[in-house]
A and B are shown apart, each in its own frame.
Chain A
Amino acid sequence: MKERLKTFLLISLVSISVILAKNLWLHAPEELFKFASSVDDEFNSYVLSDMIAPNKYLLNFSDINHTIMYDDSKYGMWSKSRSNLIEALSTKDIEITEITTDEYLDYNNVKSVVFYFSSEINTYILTRAWDIKDVNNLVDIMPNIESIYIYLGSSNPFFIFSEGNKHISVSPKDIDTSLLIDEINKIAVTEEHTRYYSMKEYGVKSDIFIPVEIDYSLPEVYVANDVFSYSSREKEQLAERFFDTDIDYIREIMESNGSTIYVSNQKVLKLNNSGIIEYFHALENNKVTEKNLFLSLSTAAEFLSERAEVQKGMYLAEIQEISQDENVGYRLFFRYRVRGIPVILGNLEVEEYVNIEVFNDHVRSYKYYARKDMNKIPSKTVDEDKMLPVLDIIDINYNFFEAKYLSKNNIEAAEKIVDIIDRVLASIEDITLAYYDPCLKEQDQKLIPVWAIKYMGRTYAFDANNGILVYER
């Protein structure tokens, strides 16, 4: 018995010493110590609140000092604002007032941050995503939000929730925004940011901010088709994950063009040789006659986490209502970012990076264009080529914009309109810096830095280095 005890103690001590030695000296492969972790840990979890992330945010340091940022990972302004926004949406002790667009635009002249979403966000969904149990009446007053403004000056904090020309200011009592104030002050001191100026400086009544001088270029980024490099075993593992069953129960069909189809229980997964992953699960007999956005979004988040792959920086870009054989649901479009910058896809087969059709708790279809950053070392330094500021791009292509304006408004001659330039500029709805993926190569596809200009309902992307139109939708 004593010998057994000694052996047990010896084994325990050896095990402890191995673990401690690993911590002290060795950086053994992580996988070695991951044997107990579940398969799900291999994939990022994607929850509803991850979907609702701003497309970009404006930092107002003063009346003449502004900048726009796309990547929140460096300063975390969005994540740091969450507790304040939860308070603003839940506290009952608030003062709610509607303000005019002119007043709203003026508030960009004081220290503040404005978060812009790529499309309007349902306020109720936002409160559910943040697990706010007891919401205030702002949800009814402002059912949808396109942007959120937070005042970060030395006076009492307030928030402005906006949708189009409707702006609702909320002044909660005893709210502490010091975390955000500290962060914006830190950013201001570094002076690393590119200056952005309001289009108001050019006589246009707009909340669009643009740079007039840029002394850098976006880093060279190359992307590759993920599916293209999958081995047959990796493809099978993907099918197993999608169908949540062993490969022995999945039928595999190889197409002559190199695509692979997997079928199991009325569910179909197709790995196209073009790099597109398609999943289809027909709607069952029970009709979905009442659509539920929250349930649909939660189903999509669960599906993405458990079945599909989630890339860091993926965000919900658009929600469309759909109907299929008397069933009603939603089509959700997701975009992704590379190194914090949104990516525009130039692939005619896919509208966006991820496209999911959800009917409450049922995912009918899923389409994913598997592109990933190759993390290649750039062939030249970042500052070698400077990008053109967006106003120069608009100036170079002014005739293009004017022609579109005249055509849309059925005007024959521009000479008859005195303020034609003001009208053209006022028709710009949004300006975003982005990468454009021409989707011409399976691997080593260089992304083109572009200025994406939303103009009279359409998006035009111009090469940021030379001003040439490369994309239109």
Chain B
Amino acid sequence: MFKKLLICFLLVLCFISIDAFNDVAYASEIDISKYEVLNPTKSSFSITDKVYLINGKAPTGTNVIIDIYGTTDLTKKNFNLENLPSEEDYIEIFTETVKSGNMGFFHKQIDLVKGINKIIISFDAKGTSSKEYIIFVYDEYIAQTNILNAREVRFGGLTNLIK
């Protein structure tokens, strides 16, 4: 009886060990640097345009899940980058899975809503973590009046000719 129990115990131990070994082996195979979001380049920023390009790199055939959440701001809390909504204030407005192609690129042109947008990009691969971005879309009229504070300068040396 004792022998039978010992065999059973050893078999269970073997199964657990193999499973755990597989997980470790899989994780060590993944090269995290191959999973990259090229755009957005910043974790939080503001723009005046509602149409935005999300793109990045992942090994060919990888599913990339893009979730977009917006806020209705019916309570007039005037959300912005300094006054972000709480988790309960977000409403899912779009979710789509795109696949990285032969060149390892994935992309999606998305339509954002006015106000705060939260974008979560997740790779369907073990060992990778999802990435979160906050984009504040606001009126061009406001943009013009507050241009000095709000303008996102993504490029350098541009002021040479612009006088």
Contact = CB atoms under 8 A, between A and B. Distances in A.
Contacts of B160: 99, 103
Interface stretch (A59-67, A85-93, A139-147, A453-461): A59-67
Interface stretch (B10-18, B81-89, B99-107, B123-131): B99-107
Contacts of A64: 47, 49, 51-53
A128 B52 CA distance: 44
B158 A107 contact: yes
Contacts, number: 74
B1 to A, nearest CB: 58
Interface in A82-115: 97, 99, 102-103, 106-107, 109-110
Nearest to B158: A106
A151 B155 CA distance: 16
A391 B161 contact: no
A109 B102 contact: no
A2 to B, nearest CB: 77
A424 to B, nearest CB: 8
A395 B101 contact: yes
Interface size class of A (residues with CB under 8 A): 35 or more
Contacts of A62: 48-49
Nearest to A398: B102
A107 B49 contact: no
Interface in A395-420: 395-396, 398-399
Contacts of A63: 152, 154-155
B8 to A, nearest CB: 48
A205 B36 CA distance: 18
Interface string B126-163: 00000000000000000000000000101111101111
B53 A201 contact: yes
Contacts of A169: 161
A57 interface: no
B77 to A, nearest CB: 27
Interface string A146-185: 0000010101101000000000010100000000000000
Contact of B156 (A106, A197, A203, A421): A106
A155 B155 CA distance: 17
Interface in A187-224: 195, 197, 201-203, 212-213
Interface size class of B (residues with CB under 8 A): 20 to 34
A361 interface: no
A329 to B, nearest CB: 41
Nearest to B107: A212
A240 interface: no
A394 interface: yes
A109 B51 contact: no
Contacts of A97: 161
A153 B38 CA distance: 28
Given A106-B156, A109-B154, A212-B53, A399 B161 contact: no
B101 A156 contact: no
A353 B160 CA distance: 44
A202 B162 CA distance: 27
12 contacts: A63-B152, A64-B49, A64-B52, A106-B158, A151-B161, A151-B162, A169-B161, A197-B53, A201-B39, A394-B103, A396-B102, A398-B103
Interface of A: 62-65, 97, 99, 102-103, 106-107, 109-110, 151, 153, 155-156, 158, 169, 171, 195, 197, 201-203, 212-213, 391-392, 394-396, 398-399, 421, 425
